[in-house]
Amino acid sequence: MQSKNITDTLYGKKIDTANILNISDAKLIRNKFVGQKNSTEHFSNSVIVVTGVTGQDGSYMVDYLLKNTNALIFGGVRRLSVYNHHNLSHVKNDRFHLVNFDLTDSHAISSIIENLKPDYFINFAAQSFVASSWDFARQTWQTNSTSVLDILESIRHHQPKCRFYNAGSSEEFGNVSYSPQDELHPLRPRSPYGASKAAARQIVKVYRESYNLYAIQSWLFNHEGPRRGEEFVTRKITKGVARIAYCVQNKIPFSPIELGNVNAKRDWSDSEDFVECVWMMLNQEKYRVDFDSNMEIQEYVLSSNETHTIKEFVELAFKTAGIEGVWHGEGLNEEFSVTTQSANELNVPSSVLVKINPNFYRPAEVELLLGNSSGFRRDFDWKPKSDFYSLIKKMVVSDLKDAGL
Ligand code: F7E
């Protein structure tokens, strides 16, 4: 049953990201769009469901698809009483609509796939914060593993031509046995989060092989950007740098950023680079340079192929904001403080920029991650636009701007 007046714009709805469609309105919009299709190519004029659109990756995926395809995109969102659509507030496009469904509800998944008959289902929804996965292990499993099974089951029954992408993680490698980690590295997860993504990988493979579905899960190493959630270490640092830079400029004493294991090493990329790769992986016949029709679709590692400590990220982030610091002390007493020269030049009101807080240590840590994405780079003749330095600059500049600097 139609719940709103849906006749007053091109696809029947005024665009407002706070306006979340129910399934019957979404179906009407979908049917109208498909009726106007002017191409039979799989990747053109498609209907695409993207989950996790209020987060970093999902919102960049929507931006990418609106810019590079003619697709009609449905962003799946859970209805919340608090507004969490900031990452989408710039999107004003008749080809993008929010639709109400919760991935932990298998009936809702089934209804979405049965009614919208998507050509692609791109799943970025997850309980993606590793540290919380020990506190919410079951919810992490339900969202990251069981939901993936439900999506696959629903695709197989209702829309077997739908191409499915699930975001995997370098956390699946966990306690690494060699570096850099490539597609052949064993899965040795160290957290409930890593285990949930490893389980999802297995079920995606089983469904791909059993039912001949185009279903893949890549291994995404850490990927960041200005839309990154503030609990992740990169954004926590760049937000903290902007706060401290504001205090320095206004001669206000500040408290340091508090971090956990600053010696952990991560392989950081730009989320905007990765969403392009996801689309390429979903259309291998179009983008693989060596593609021939007998080839099996493949799953790839996406990474920068460089590893850096949290400490290096801290140093560069402060430097980008014009504040030079130095590490001293050890263990829980380790600190990052303004250098004497920088303190004199800036007349800084406090000196400690970063200190250690053991509350941010994890029950089990993945100490080192370093990816090898040469397979993807070779097969798709692709290279990233961003590197470690430009990524940090982009994030710090964005947070400085938000702080009015
Ligand atoms: O931690 C250390 C922490 O929370 C990075 C997710 O996208 O990438 C992400 O997972 C490192 C860890 O990301 C703090 O112990 C130190 O070693 O930014 P993170 P993550 O756990 O690597 C993978 C690939 C995913 O798939 C995940 O979904 O930084 N660290 N001090 C800290 N981490 C946080 N969050 N906060 C700290 O204060």
* Predicted confidence (pLDDT) per residue in 134-180, tens digit: 999 999 999 999 999 999 999 999 999 999 999 999 999 999 999 99
Mapping DSSP to helix (H, G, I), strand (E, B) and coil, where does residue 208 land?
A: helix
Please check the confidence at residue 9 and state whether its pLDDT lies above 70: no
Would you state the pLDDT for residue 44?
64
* pLDDT for res 41: 61
Tell me the C-alpha distance between 10 and 130, whole Å: 42
My answer on whether omega of the bond before 118 falls inside 30° of 0, hence cis, is no
Between CA 72 and CA 290 the distance in angstroms is: 29
Predicted local distance difference test score (pLDDT) of residue 39: 62
235 vs 12, more confident: 235
Three-state SS at 252: coil
Q: Does residue 12 have a pLDDT over 70?
A: no
d(CA 130, CA 171): 9
State the average pLDDT over residues 333-353. 92
Residue 220 host element (H or E) = strand 215-220
Confidence of residue 40 (pLDDT cuts 50, 70, 90): low
Average pLDDT over all residues of the chain: 93
Residue type, 3: S
Q: Could you tell me the distance, in angstroms and rounded to a whole number, from the CA of residue 363 to the centre of ligand 1?
A: 13
The residues near 85 (Cβ < 8 Å, ≥ 6 apart) are 17, 18, 54, 77, 98
Rounded Cα distance between 272 and 37, Å, is 28
- Substitution site in 193, 232, 263 for ligand 1 pocket (most atoms within 8 Å of beta carbon): 232
Residue 305 predicted with pLDDT over 60: yes
Least reliable range by pLDDT among 73-77, 339-343, 355-359, 379-383: 339-343
Confidence of residue 3 (pLDDT cuts 50, 70, 90): very low
Give domain limits for the chain: 20-225+269-302, 233-265+308-368+386-402
Distance 128 CA to ligand 1 centre (A): 10
User: Is residue 43's pLDDT more than 80?
Assistant: no
Instruction: Please count the other Cβ atoms lying within 10 Å of the Cβ belonging to residue 365.
Output: 16
pLDDT, average across residues 328-353: 93
Query: In terms of DSSP H, where are the helices of 159-306?
Result: 192-211, 233-249, 271-281, 284-287
Q: Is residue 128 lining ligand 1, measured as CB closer than 6 Å? A: yes
- The mean pLDDT of 191-215, rounded to a whole number, is 98
- Spatial neighbors of 378 by CB under 8 A, at least 6 apart, are none
Question: CB–CB of 318/353 below 8 Å?
Answer: yes
Nearest CA to ligand 1 atom 21: 130
Indicate whether 2 pLDDT > 60.
no
Give the residue whose CA is nearest to atom 4 of ligand 1: 232
> CB–CB of 279/64 below 8 Å?
yes
- Quote the pLDDT of residue 1: 37
pLDDT-based confidence at residue 11 (cuts at 50, 70, 90): very low
For 20-225+269-302, the fitting CATH number among 3.60.110.10, 3.30.470.10, 3.40.50.2300, 3.40.50.720 is 3.40.50.720
Question: What CATH number belongs to 233-265+308-368+386-402?
Answer: 3.90.25.10
The mean per-residue pLDDT over the stretch 8-13 comes to 42
| Ligand 1, pocket-test mutation among 166, 190, 266, most atoms within 8 A of CB | 266
Mean pLDDT (whole number) for 256-277 = 98
Q: Indicate whether residue 230 lines ligand 1 (CB < 6 A).
A: no
Does residue 349 register a pLDDT over 90? no
> What pTM does this model have?
0.95
Mean pLDDT of 360-382: 98
Expressed in angstroms and rounded, the spacing between residue 35 Cα and the centre of ligand 1 is 45
Which of 123, 127, 130 for mutating ligand 1's site (highest number of atoms within 8 Å of CB)? Answer: 130
Q: How far is the CA of 222 from the centre of ligand 1 (A)?
A: 8
- What confidence category does residue 83 fall into, taking pLDDT thresholds of 50, 70 and 90? confident
Pair type for strands 335-338 and 325-328 = antiparallel
